[in-house]
Structure 1
């Protein structure tokens, strides 16, 4: 197991550390529910330095990315970020990612920690045709997600940039916490606003300490990966390995909005046909109508007890106080208001298909 740059700090704060994607990561500090509400109500900080970063440069950088990603990278201006995925050749997804346009002919891709080597191999296999310059920066950079409705106010004293002027899925590069050339990105995985801060590993301790000094009066706290999961699920954000993987298509997963058929990309013809004919299964959101907690892998059943799908993500929502989840069902059962049942141990608990997000401010 590798240690992230701030490992010692997390241990000193009493974090419960667990192995995740090859790294020792802080899963919780004071408890999932308390940490969840800290982010929803004020501001918290996640260390997600296990994520991967690839720099793609050169005159053919855009052409390569147009080929391997589903979204239209040509639409990006400098300072824009874009959610996307790498489709594979079998109607599945290699990974989902965020693409940043740093400058002309230079892009930063942020990929899931568990897929760093897999993604690198995938992009490299297509780069023979394009000859873009690829650099894997994953081991050199730390990533802090400062999330919550008070993030802008709490962090403004740390930068000469106007943080309120960095709008959703935009970023700026500038000074932060006494460090120059930091990427300050108005992105995140919680649905409660805030920033993601990209810095070099040797800058992470200074930034972490100053973030907590500046945020002290706002009740800032460290937040673990467990609360990151409950927060993202309340928003209905997909988690790779659960809700999307090598066998699920972006069309099935409700990611048609990041799948642009205005260009040619890996497997675009098959995905366009799937969209036209409509997929046989769809990823849906559901709420339990009775008490219970749906979990990843639980069966979704019909009134006769026959298995019709599976839960891909589930939890007890801290904000809603009820069981919520995502799962794949036949398309005919994917409409909001449809009644399904979740097999929780020996009991089939009634549930209702709902529109996302679960959590609405």
Structure 2
């Protein structure tokens, strides 16, 4: 048996009486008190998450930019130092190997942040494509801890404990400085649909920083709230919405594919798919009778099975049952009626506009 991995904050989670589960081989907190309460803390105030299970690869060398450009679907040429973007790794068929963030630290120094369950697969994929590129790829995941501070009060709270000029950080920009007196890369990014920051820190410093943020008033939140928050904002989860069997266009992520930037892995297949169109699409649904759609439930139109629920929950913010469905493209239009099969019964649902929730930026 493989021993489950633990983040540097594992002992703190136990001390705070978190319920710990296995998540892709990691012992992670799913909740502390209540998923709904933690969810609402992020929507209304500020919450803090341990996301140190995520993976980090450092790419260095004179061909770093060209190499990363070849690996991913988005255009990293447009990044200046201190900027980041969301993108995808695709295979030769256009299937999604992972979604990730790319940070430009310097012209010859780039950081790739990948999903926890894909670290080994991604690292093998990335290193197998170095070819003639003058680059070095280091998996620094064990040396880096990642803490996410999310919610409308995130900036006010973090400002009390950092020398980074947070007012100057726009979304998808970052700066190096100190948090609670320790070195950190402070990034204005997140996975909740709210304003917030992700703090890349040394593993040994994580506990002190995490505890200090909680002492200032951040509510500790687990993976349960992280999932409901990202679902309301229609942020995809690898293994649910994304896989090697799904392309960026099918997942509704075509905006992160820049076909005109030059060659990249999977480009030819994606060019073909854009020309002929997709056969399936990821859409949002809301059930009509408050039955909750869950991952794996089948979706029908009449007697025809036309799709599957990839994620679903009772939305804590909207108080309605919501779900994401990968459905036959013929039935992806807004207001299309479908049936979700739940424990042997069909429940009516409607295709609705997504994201289900958008924060007020006023």
Structure 2 gaps of 5+ residues are none
The question of 1:269 aligning with 2:271 is answered no
Instruction: Name 1:211's counterpart in structure 2.
Output: 213
The question of 1:84 aligning with 2:82 is answered no
Distance 1:22 1:308 in 2: 32
The question of 1:193 aligning with 2:195 is answered yes
Aligned 1:310-325 pairs, distance under 5 A: 310-325=308-323
Instruction: Name 2:257's counterpart in structure 1.
Output: 259
Residues 213-259 of structure 1: CA deviation (Å, up to 9, x unaligned): 3x22xxx2100001100000000111000001011001111110011
Instruction: Name 1:184's counterpart in structure 2.
Output: 186
The question of 1:246 aligning with 2:248 is answered no
- Using structure 1 for the length normalisation, give the TM-score: 0.96
Distance 1:22 1:139 in 2: 14
Instruction: Name 1:50's counterpart in structure 2.
Output: 53
Judge conservation of contact 1:281–1:331 (CA < 8 Å) in 2.
yes
3-state secondary structure, aligned to 2:70: helix
Judge conservation of contact 2:94–2:267 (CA < 8 Å) in 1.
no
Q: CA deviation at 1:360?
A: 2.8
Distance 1:288 1:195 in 2: 33
Distance 2:236 2:130 in 1: 27
Distance 1:76 1:355 in 2: 31
Pick from 123, 126, 131 the counterpart of residue 129 of structure 2. 126
The question of 1:279 aligning with 2:278 is answered yes
Aligned 1:1-361 pairs, distance under 5 A: 1-180=4-183, 182-213=184-215, 215-216=216-217, 220-262=218-260, 263-302=262-301, 304-361=302-359
Distance 1:359 1:347 in 2: 28
Residues 172-191 of structure 1: CA deviation (Å, up to 9, x unaligned): 111111112x1100100001
Distance 2:105 2:94 in 1: 30
Judge conservation of contact 2:173–2:187 (CA < 8 Å) in 1.
yes
Q: CA deviation at 1:63?
A: 1.2
Judge conservation of contact 2:193–2:358 (CA < 8 Å) in 1.
no
Q: CA deviation at 1:128?
A: 2.0
- Using structure 2 for the length normalisation, give the TM-score: 0.96
Distance 1:79 1:153 in 2: 22
Residues 276-326 of structure 1: CA deviation (Å, up to 9, x unaligned): 211111111111111111000000101x23211101111111111111111
Q: CA deviation at 1:270?
A: 1.3
Distance 2:350 2:358 in 1: 17
Which range moves more in the overlay, 31-40 or 347-356?
347-356
